[in-house]
Amino acid sequence: VTVSAAESFVPVPDERVGALGMTCVRVQGYGVSLVDGLLRPGDRQLLDAIGDRRALVVTTPTVARLYGAALRRVLAPAGTRVRVAVMHSGEPAKEIETVLDVCAAAQEAGIGRRDVLVAFGGGVCCDVVTLAAGLIRRGVAYLTVPTTLVGQVDAGIGLKGGVNFAGSKNYLGCFHAPEGSLVDLGLLRTLPEVELRCGLAEILKMALVRDPDLFALLGERGEELVRTRFAPDRADAEWVAARAIELMLAELEPNCYEDQTLCRLVDFGHTISPALEERSGHRIRHAQAVAIDMALSCEIATELGWLAPDACATVLHTFRRLGLPLFHPLLTADVVAAGLHGATAHRGGELNLVLPTSVGTARFLVRPEDLPASAVAAALRCLRRRAR
Amino acid sequence: VTVSAAESFVPVPDERVGALGMTCVRVQGYGVSLVDGLLRPGDRQLLDAIGDRRALVVTTPTVARLYGAALRRVLAPAGTRVRVAVMHSGEPAKEIETVLDVCAAAQEAGIGRRDVLVAFGGGVCCDVVTLAAGLIRRGVAYLTVPTTLVGQVDAGIGLKGGVNFAGSKNYLGCFHAPEGSLVDLGLLRTLPEVELRCGLAEILKMALVRDPDLFALLGERGEELVRTRFAPDRADAEWVAARAIELMLAELEPNCYEDQTLCRLVDFGHTISPALEERSGHRIRHAQAVAIDMALSCEIATELGWLAPDACATVLHTFRRLGLPLFHPLLTADVVAAGLHGATAHRGGELNLVLPTSVGTARFLVRPEDLPASAVAAALRCLRRRAR
């Protein structure tokens, strides 16, 4: 049953994950549920989602250190039927070798066609497990339990798996929908502040192109949400997360397999950022590069007369207040050119640059030849100056 | 446009491949065309199918040796836009590393989202390219040009990619439909006789469960078809190939993604054979193992009273006349048990053993517990004796 995202925020009964969720947004047959207390001793939400299948729960060293004991405790009633594997993590681990490590662990654990993988980690863990689940027996079920804010509002709730390959970002991957995603804001309690700000960047991405109210709220309360680590008992934390998830899924839903259009609002901030990330050897975090890309896109939109200068200033001011980078010395003209070129290749010959037209709306610049090099150069100069 | 296989054998106009084909069977939006003279100097069928896209044509050392010069000649008008890569071949090369070699060559050749791969080789080449195409940019288009009879009637015209992994056959793979398959019987002129007999085994597989007339025709003319190497000017060669393709696609069509049922007639001969292939270190060819599996399945069906003894004798006699193996010393009781166990895991807990009930019809033995060990042991004894 597919319920469009527009009907969301009504608790939707779902035979597998729905019973768990306070809030359940459904897209293309899978549900993203805001849940609570997944790792509380005796909690059965994860076990109930797994059911009577074999499962391999894949996590990362950091999550294993923080939550490994609690995770094993809630999974213990399943005995050896549910196993835990720890994969390498971080952007450098977003490679096919990590996917194959997970596949080997799954094969070892006897994961068959009707069994299930669980990604219990950040965005890279979810990306890797999605691809592994897509490959095993030509596609087995999987669940995601994103443990970072970026994962909870973006990387861990979609249906795309992907790894970098031969220097090309996400050159290999698949579309493979999860059975469900369980989002527990309580897991953010231990998340480093910089990672929370990265999550804010991804939420701001959606707000900036779709929701002026969400943008305004983040401008006012974002810093406090970071300080209180999105404590799940805060109504605003839950509202922000749920709204971000709803916006994300509403964008994905009509074009899940990207076969309808390669013009995607969720690509905002994702045009130049891959080249910047790559140039930095992934020392610049994904969401930081996204923030810088969004800042440059605002400047380009202003240069082209699509965005009012004061709206641009408001956006960049908000980014700065929330501790997000606007610029990086590695953002040179040739990195920008490489980003534009790479995106055009990835988007089938079209650039589809997302440019804000106000706080909350955006348009696409479709054809690469419609973006004058002079406007890009001027935007880059402005941004460099403003970021000083 | 999906035209069911029942409407096939009418030349179907198709914007991309149809213009080429004498016979075009369509399934799930892709067409399998029987074509002629693909490598004739100046022939444009392959170039027309590629269109104005970049392409990476993947072939194997043997095909490159026999047809490399002719292939490069017909592709030459496209210049550097169409490149040729040679991958390792054979069952041992059916592994993820070969897939990644193809992906690396594609990345090097600048293959992007709207470009195309071409598998120009046998079944393993088609399997590997299908998976590579499924992974690159989360799925790019591909064409298959199977160069073996097994490829032309079975492995090269489906939509499954797969490789062996960690000792499990086809543990990793994907469903990814080709844009089209071009079947040129002329390429069989150079095929070793043993490979032609392997192709016959896969055709007999479909005939035995679906088409008594095809089975009878193969019994009468199969040896001559092998001797004349399916020369495309022979009406019976074309008829046999087209009918085999039609039967195969008719089975695939309603259940392309195997999400409707795991009871598949095309799995006939594919239950015990993976274990036998593996035990032999792939010295027994895939289709030879399939023939042995079919022979044992006939004996099991006879033991269970599902198949009349004289029908069983007819089948095994035909196999023997066509130079197909009925037995191999490695087919021990424990290999049979491993095969039954592996199939049950792959088929989600059900065995779904395909057993002939006459020459041309079959039924499934669904539950593993419904197959008495004594019947398997007796069947194995009979087969061993009969094969002496």
The answer to which of B42-51, B247-256, B298-307 has the lowest mean pLDDT is: B247-256
Distance from CA of B161 to the nearest CA of A (A): 8
Angle, CA of A158, A139 and A264, to the nearest 5°: 25
Residues in chain B closer than 8 A to A258 (CB atoms): 138
Facing B171 at nearest CB: one of A107, A139, A170: A107
Kind and range of the H or E element at A26?
Answer: strand A23-27
Cα dist from B122 to B143, B154, B245, whole Å: 13, 10, 16
A379-386 average pLDDT score: 96
Question: HSE of A361 in the Cβ direction (CA atoms, 13 Å)?
Answer: 5
The answer to whether the CB atoms of A137 and B346 lie below 8 A apart is: yes
B108 and A166: CB-CB below 8 Å? Answer: yes
Phi, psi of A195 (to 5 degrees): -70, -35
| Rounded alpha-carbon distances, angstroms, from residue A252 to A142, A246, A259, A261, A356 | 19, 10, 11, 11, 19
| pLDDT band (50, 70, 90) for residue B29 | low
The interface predicted TM-score (ipTM) is: 0.88
- 3-state secondary structure (DSSP) of residue A233: coil
Q: Report the pLDDT value the prediction gives residue B204, as an integer from 0 to 100.
A: 97
More confident residue, B129 or A114: B129
What letter represents residue B249's amino acid?
A: L
Distance CA B380, CA B333 (A): 8
Angle value at C-alpha A45, between A44 and A48, nearest 5 degrees: 80
Inform me whether the pLDDT recorded for B366 exceeds 70. yes
* Chain B residues touching residue A107 (CB < 8 angstroms): 165-168, 171
Helix (H) or strand (E) holding A296, with range, is helix A286-303
CA A249 vs CA A173, A253, A267, B72: distances in Å: 20, 6, 13, 47
Lowest mean pLDDT among A93-97, A146-150, B2-6, B336-340: B2-6
Q: Which of these ranges, A125-139, A158-172, B193-207, has the smallest mean pLDDT?
A: A158-172
Kindly tell me if the per-residue pLDDT of A149 is higher than 60. yes
Nearest residue of B to residue A108, measured between CA atoms:
B166
pLDDT on residue B210: 95
Q: What are phi and psi of A32, to 5 degrees?
A: -105, 120
* Closest-CA residue of chain B to A257: B138
- Residues of chain A in contact with residue B171, where contact means CB-CB under 8 angstroms, are 103, 107, 136-137
Please list the helix, strand and coil fractions of chain A in percent, rounded to the nearest 5, in that order.
Answer: 50, 15, 30
For testing contact with chain A, the best of B101, B136, B137, B351 (most A CBs within 10 A): B137
% of chain B at pLDDT higher than 70: 93
| pLDDT of A8 above 70 | no
| Average per-residue pLDDT for chain B | 90
Separation in Å, CA of A113 to nearest CA in chain B: 5
What's residue A26's pLDDT? 61
B14: pLDDT strictly greater than 80 = no
Distance separating alpha carbons of residues A363 and A268, to the nearest angstrom: 10
- Put simply, the answer to whether B138 touches A113 (Cβ < 8 Å) is no
- Report pLDDT for B9: 35
B296 against A92, higher pLDDT: B296
What are the tens digits of pLDDT across the range A174-190? 999 999 999 999 999 99
Residues of B contacting chain A (CB within 8 angstroms): 96, 100, 103-104, 107-108, 110, 112-114, 134-139, 160, 162, 165-168, 170-175, 258, 262, 345-349
Q: Read off the pLDDT of each residue in A366-375 and give the average, rounded to a whole number.
A: 96
pLDDT in the model for residue A9: 35
Report the alpha-carbon distance of residue A279 to residue B183 in Å, rounded.
45
Give mean pLDDT, residues A60-75: 97
In angstroms, the separation between the Cα of residue A259 and the nearest Cα of chain B is 11
Q: Is the Cβ–Cβ distance between A93 and A128 less than 8 Å?
A: yes
Note whether A279 and A265 are within 8 A (CB). Answer: no
Lowest-pLDDT range, A60-64, A126-130, B33-37, B314-318?
A: B33-37
How far is the C-alpha of B365 from the C-alpha of B360, rounded, in Å? 17
Average pLDDT value for residue range B84-105: 95
The pLDDT score that the predictor gives to residue B79 is 97
* CA proximity to B184, closest of B360, B49, B13: B49
Q: Which range has the worst mean pLDDT, A6-20, A216-230, B203-217, B293-307?
A: A6-20
List CB contacts (< 8 A) between B166 and chain A.
103-104, 107-108
Task: Tell me which residue has tokens 């195309």.
Answer: B116
- Rounded Cα–Cα distance for residues B240 and B251 (Å): 17
Query: Average pLDDT of A193-203?
Result: 96
Could you tell me if B178 and B161 are in contact, meaning their C-beta atoms sit under 8 angstroms apart?
A: no
The whole-angstrom distance between A169's CA and the closest CA on chain B is 9
- Minimum-distance CB partner of B174 among A134, A165, A348: A134
Q: Is the pLDDT of residue B325 over 90?
A: yes
Q: What pLDDT digit, counting tens, does each position of A304-314 carry?
A: 999 999 999 99
What is the average pLDDT score of chain A?
90
* pLDDT band of A29, cuts 50, 70, 90: low
Closest residue by Cα to residue A225 from A319, A322, A326, A320? A322
CA A93 – CA B107 distance, rounded (Å): 20
Average pLDDT over residues B229-238: 86
pLDDT band for position B247 (cuts 50, 70, 90): very high
Where residue A383 falls among pLDDT bands split at 50, 70, 90?
A: very high
Q: Which residues contact A170 (CB under 8 A, 6 or more apart)?
A: A162, A163, A164, A274, A346, B137, B138
**Each residue of B255-282: pLDDT tens digit?**
888 887 888 898 999 999 999 998 998 8
Mean pLDDT across A100-126: 96
Burial of B58 (0-12, 13-18, 19+ CB in 10 A): buried
Q: How many CA within 13 A on the CB side of residue B166?
A: 16
